[in-house]
C-alpha cells in the first residue's frame, strides 16, 4: 500500500512539473509586428478593446472572429488571406504592402510591440 502512495506522489509531481513547463512555453509567444498591426487595425475598427500586446492570444482571436462574422466571412479567429486583405487592402505576399503596414505602426505601437514604454 505504501508503494502505491509513493508511485502516486511521483505521478502527481511529474504531472505538475509538466503542466508548469507547458504554461511557461505557452506564455513565451514571440511578439510580432504583424500581430501588432492586426491588433492596431482591429482597435481602430472597434473590435480589439485591450492593451496592445503584439502577441496572438485569445483576445486577439476573439476580435478576429467577431470581425470576420461582421464581414460575412467564416469566423475562424485566424487571419488568412481573405481576412488579411479585408483588414489591410492587400495580400501578405505584397512586400511593399507589408512595408507600408509596418511603417504605418506609430512609434508608440512599435514600442509596445517590443515591450518599451
Residues 50 and 6 in one domain: no
pTM of the model: 0.62
Please give the full DSSP string across the chain, using - where no structure is assigned.
Answer: -HHHHHHHHHHHHHHHHHHHHHHHHHT-PPP-HHHHHHHHHHHHTTS--S---SS--HHHHHHHHHHHHHTTS---SS--HHHHHHHHSS-TT-HHHHHHHHHHS-HHHHHHHTT--
CATH number assigned to the domain comprising residue 68: 1.10.101.10
Query: Packing angle between helix 81-88 and helix 58-70, nearest 10 degrees?
Result: 80
Q: Is the pLDDT of residue 61 over 70?
A: yes
Residues 38, 26 within the same domain: no
Quote the domain boundaries for residue 8: 1-30
- Looking at the 3D structure of the chain, how many domains does it have? 2
* 81 and 95 within one domain: yes
- Per cent of the chain over pLDDT 70 is 58
16-48, pLDDT tens digit by residue? 454 444 444 444 444 687 888 899 889 989 999
Q: Which residue has the cell 507589408?
A: 98
pLDDT (0 to 100) of residue 90: 85
Tens of pLDDT, residues 70-112:
999 999 999 999 999 999 888 878 777 766 766 665 555 555 5
Task: Indicate whether 48 and 16 sit together in one domain.
Answer: no
Amino acid at each position: 500500500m505504501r508503494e502505491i502512495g509513493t508511485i502516486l506522489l511521483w505521478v502527481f509531481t511529474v504531472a505538475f512539473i509538466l503542466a508548469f513547463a507547458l504554461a511557461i512555453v505557452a506564455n513565451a509567444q514571440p511578439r510580432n509586428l504583424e500581430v501588432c498591426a492586426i491588433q492596431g487595425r482591429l482597435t481602430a475598427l472597434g473590435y480589439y478593446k485591450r492593451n496592445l500586446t503584439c502577441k496572438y492570444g485569445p483576445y486577439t482571436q476573439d476580435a478576429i472572429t467577431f470581425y470576420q462574422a461582421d464581414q460575412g466571412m467564416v469566423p475562424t479567429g485566424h487571419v488568412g488571406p481573405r481576412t488579411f486583405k479585408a483588414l489591410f487592402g492587400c495580400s501578405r505576399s505584397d512586400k511593399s504592402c507589408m512595408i507600408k503596414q509596418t511603417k504605418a505602426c506609430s512609434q508608440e505601437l512599435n514600442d509596445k510591440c517590443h515591450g518599451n514604454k
